[in-house]
Structure 1
Amino acid sequence: MGKVIYWMNASMDGYIEDSKGGMDFMDPAEDFRQAANDHVRRISAFLFGRRLYEAMEKPWTQDLGKEGAPALEREFAQLYKETPRYVFSDTVQTVPDGVTIVRRKDAVSAVTRLKEEIDGTLQLGGPELAVSLLDLIDEFWVYTLPVIIGGGKPYLPVGEKLRLHLVEHRSLASGIMFARYVRS
């Protein structure tokens, strides 16, 4: 049976985007890129909300990872393209090969089915999608970047308390912290 991990990178004050919707504060260091590639190598499928899908798809399939780009960037692009991707959206109409559209009303049943069919890790990204699938999330991952941005979109905008238990953590030489939590 597969497990769903919710993985987003965040500022030290807990935001995945700044107040203008930008992610310019995320300038990942080489040690982060290596750690991300190591994680992505073990992922069986990406589950994206529309906005995160749009932020990832074109850059990693068309713009980044080309000849002349840093080796870690090229490696991530290759891993990304080889991994099945699901975009949860009611507005996306067409997708390239390797991507499947799931309508938001079908999200819970689709992810439940994927957990049963895929014996591996399903990496969920996008805070609104995560909230809608909260009961199906097995682990919560966050890479915390050493920057405070003062506001924006939170890592997980839940309206209730969710108790978690830390099962792994490490710091990278760049000052980025990784933490992996499970439900308490």
Structure 2
Amino acid sequence: MRTLVYGFTLSLDGYINDRAGLIDWTSPDDELHQFHNDRYRALELSLHGRRLYELMAAHWPYVTADAPPIQREFARLWTEKPKVVFSRTLTDVGWNSTLVSENAVEEVRRLKAAGDGVMEVGGANLAAALIPHGLVDEYQVFLAPVILGGGTPFLPALDQRITLRVAETRHFDTVEMLRYVTG
């Protein structure tokens, strides 16, 4: 069974973007960017909600040759990585992506059962639909030194507690990484 990882850079007060939807405060330094490149390279599959897909698709396929090598590397990784995009409004997706318009929970269950590697979920709304069903196996938090006071929360409100175990902590110059696993 595939492992499903949910991770984001978030503010100290738990938001993945600010009230205007901006993420300009999340810019990684080279060490963190390389960590993300290496992590992304190891994924079998990347699951995207519509908003994250649109954000990524508007930027990474268009990185130019004069961009730093670390960014060019991620652009190549992102465009080549198999992706599943969950959206009820999009009618077309590109860059090695498959569109799913119905029943995200059942599709993710199917995808988890279809392999034994690692896949990630990107997008707070998509993750919020999967978390209550116990589909997320690991949480990767990149805690940034900023308080936003509002925005999109990393985690949804839940009817039941989810007990996690600390699997790893790591210090970067720009964030603290906290990795938690279920069970």
Please give the TM-score of this superposition, normalised by the length of structure 1.
Answer: 0.92
CA-to-aligned-CA distance 1:79-121 (integer Å, 9 cap, x gap): 1112101110100001124111111x32122111111223211
Instruction: Tell me which amino acid in the other structure corresponds to 1:101.
Output: L
**Displacement of 1:158:** 2.3
2:85 touches 2:97 (CA, 8 Å); kept in 1?
yes
2:80 touches 2:95 (CA, 8 Å); kept in 1?
no
**Gaps (5+ residues) in structure 2?**
none
Correspondence for 1:152: 151
CA-to-aligned-CA distance 1:48-69 (integer Å, 9 cap, x gap): 111111111121112x2x2010
Distance in 2 (CA, whole Å) between partners of 1:10 and 1:97 is 27
**Displacement of 1:13:** 1.9
Instruction: Tell me which amino acid in the other structure corresponds to 1:73.
Output: Q
**Gaps (5+ residues) in structure 1?**
none
Aligned match for 1:81, one of 57, 79, 82: 79
Report the identity percentage: 40
Please give the TM-score of this superposition, normalised by the length of structure 2.
Answer: 0.92
Number of corresponding residues: 180
After TM superposition, where is structure 1 displaced by more than 6 Å over at least 4 residues in a row?
none
Distance in 1 (CA, whole Å) between partners of 2:88 and 2:99 is 9
Distance in 1 (CA, whole Å) between partners of 2:24 and 2:165 is 30
Distance in 1 (CA, whole Å) between partners of 2:120 and 2:52 is 12
